[in-house]
Structures are given as C-alpha cells and as structure tokens.
Amino acid sequence: MKNDYSANGGPAFPSQFYDGPDDERGMRLRDYFAAAALQGLLANRTFQLWQYDGAEMSADLAARNAYELADAMLKARAAETKKEGE
C-alpha cells in the first residue's frame, strides 16, 4: 500500500487546527487499525484461522496478519463511505 495519507486512511486523529504538511500529521489510520488488530490477535492465541509457524505464532506473521486486517478494515470503510454517498 502506498505510503501516503490518502492510501493509508488519512490521519488516525485528525485536527482541524493543523495546517502543516501531511507527512507530519502522526499515526495513519492504517497503523491505528493494525495496532488494534494486533492487540486482538495477541489476546486470543486460540483463534484458529491464522497460520502458525510451528506451535507459536511468529512475530512477523502476527504483524502481517494485523496489517491484512487493517487493509480489510480500510476497504470496508471505503465501501461504507461510498454506499452512504449514493
């Protein structure tokens, strides 16, 4: 996914008072969604839909799964926004 705000869902915590460049706005929504997803993955280690490396979920695999979920959330969010605009 592109490394710009529009492709990453925009800022996670937008402010109407900020007028600086986009790359200084802080955490992107994609990163915020991934952090929430990762927290859920780590809290529920018995969830069987995730691939495991042996008996334990690897850190790299958990991070990839978290970003896959974040991308799915952004896609669903865009679809809902489009539906509301119709």
As a whole number of angstroms, the distance between CA 27 and CA 8 comes to: 10
Q: How does pLDDT run across 36-77, given as a tens digit for each residue? A: 999 998 887 666 555 555 555 677 888 888 999 999 999 999
Decide: 62 and 43 in contact? Cβ < 8 Å: no
Q: How does pLDDT run across 10-42, given as a tens digit for each residue? A: 777 766 666 666 556 678 899 999 999 999 988
- What is the rounded end-to-end Cα distance, in angstroms, of the chain? 26
pTM, to two decimals: 0.68
Radius of gyration of the chain (CA): 15
Decide: 74 and 33 in contact? Cβ < 8 Å: yes
